[in-house]
Amino acid sequence: MTDSSEFRFRVDLLIRVFGMDADSRPFSQKAHAPNISDRGAQLSGLEKHLRPGDIIGVQFGDTKARCKVIWSGEAGPASETEAGVKIVEGQPCPWREEIERQRNTAAVPISRAVPVAREQRKFRRLRIPFPIEIQDGQSVGSHTQAVTQDISGRGCYVETLQPLPVRRLIEVTFWLDSRRIQTQAIVRTCDGGVGMGVEFIGLDEATQNQLQEQVEALAAESGLLKRAQGAS
């Protein structure tokens, strides 16, 4: 017999999601739940990457609960994240009243299905310092020299006490071997007093791949240097 609690209902709930992201940074944001069940939900529109197994908090109305991330992956061109979460045993179901309302109105449930394997991230982020120059597209003549905390062929995270707001368009300049690269980018995350996550939106696939290769080479070199220092 099929467990009715595994049935999900199509909805569009706005909920608060909070906790630590895949890069161990605290976050709190609004997200959508396109379907829900007694045991969990699908989340969409997340600005942070999450790892399967992570525990996060969700809040709908006045009810909060801890949930375990079952799967996650990028969705759409905006580099937003989708995730499937399961409510931790013993925690309340924040959307129980909505589920009861759906049942009472004879809404047709959808069967829970194992999600298709999703690509977590096309390029692996590596925690290496990489010098870049940032120009704010809304502030003429505003150039900032910066060093990334982590970087991949698709974007980077920059530590700064004055991060730019989300969705701000900027120009990023860096050196790829002996070639000077300038690309348009967009601020995807803003952590006040901490830093900002930036996505490169002007790089073609070949340049992204070349940047990733250079980043991985620098990371490998750094690791060899650390091992050599530890052995001395």
Residue 222 lies in a domain: yes
Residue appearing with tokens 């909070």: 18
pLDDT of residue 179: 93
* Residue 171 burial (C-beta neighbours within 10 Å; 0-12, 13-18, 19+): middle
Could you tell me if 14 and 64 lie in one domain? Answer: yes
pLDDT of residue 93 exceeding 60: yes
Q: Look up the pTM and report it.
A: 0.49
Could you tell me if 164 and 217 lie in one domain? Answer: yes
Could you tell me the CATH number of the domain that includes residue 194?
2.40.10.220
What's the 3-state SS for the chain? CCCHHHCEEEEEEEEEEEEECCCCCEEEEEEEEEEECCCEEEEEEECCCCCCCCEEEEEECCEEEEEEEEEEEEECCCCEEEEEEEECCCCCCCCHHHHHHHHHCCCCCECCCCCCCCCCCCCCCECCCCEEEEEECCCCCCEEEEEEEEECCCEEEEECCCCCCCCCEEEEEEEECCEEEEEEEEEEEEECCCEEEEEECCCCHHHHHHHHHHHHHHHHHHHHHHHHHHHC
Residue 162 lies in a domain: yes
Residue 59 lies in a domain: yes
pLDDT of residue 110: 65
Summarize pLDDT for 24-74 with one digit per residue, the tens. Answer: 788 999 999 999 999 999 998 888 888 888 899 999 999 999 999 988 876
Neighbouring CB atoms inside 10 A of 66's CB total: 16
Residue 208 lies in a domain: yes
Could you tell me if 13 and 97 lie in one domain? Answer: yes
Total domains, the chain: 2
Could you tell me if 89 and 137 lie in one domain? Answer: no
- The residue among 86, 104, 122 that closes a domain is 104
Mean pLDDT value of segment 116-122? 47
Summarize pLDDT for 120-158 with one digit per residue, the tens. Answer: 456 788 888 999 999 987 765 567 899 998 899 999 999
- In whole angstroms, give the CA distance from residue 49 to residue 82: 9
Residue 112 lies in a domain: no
The answer to whether residues 75 and 81 touch, using CB atoms and an 8 Å cutoff, is: yes
Residue 115 lies in a domain: no
Q: If pLDDT is split at 50, 70 and 90, which confidence band does 5 have?
A: very low
Could you tell me if 160 and 99 lie in one domain? Answer: no
Residue 55 lies in a domain: yes
pLDDT of residue 189: 83
The residue type at 136: D
Residue 206, Ramachandran bin (φ over 0: left; ψ between -120 and 50: alpha; else beta): alpha
For residue 178, give its domain range: 131-231
Residue 164 lies in a domain: yes
- In whole angstroms, give the CA distance from residue 24 to residue 11: 30
- The residue among 69, 104, 139 that closes a domain is 104
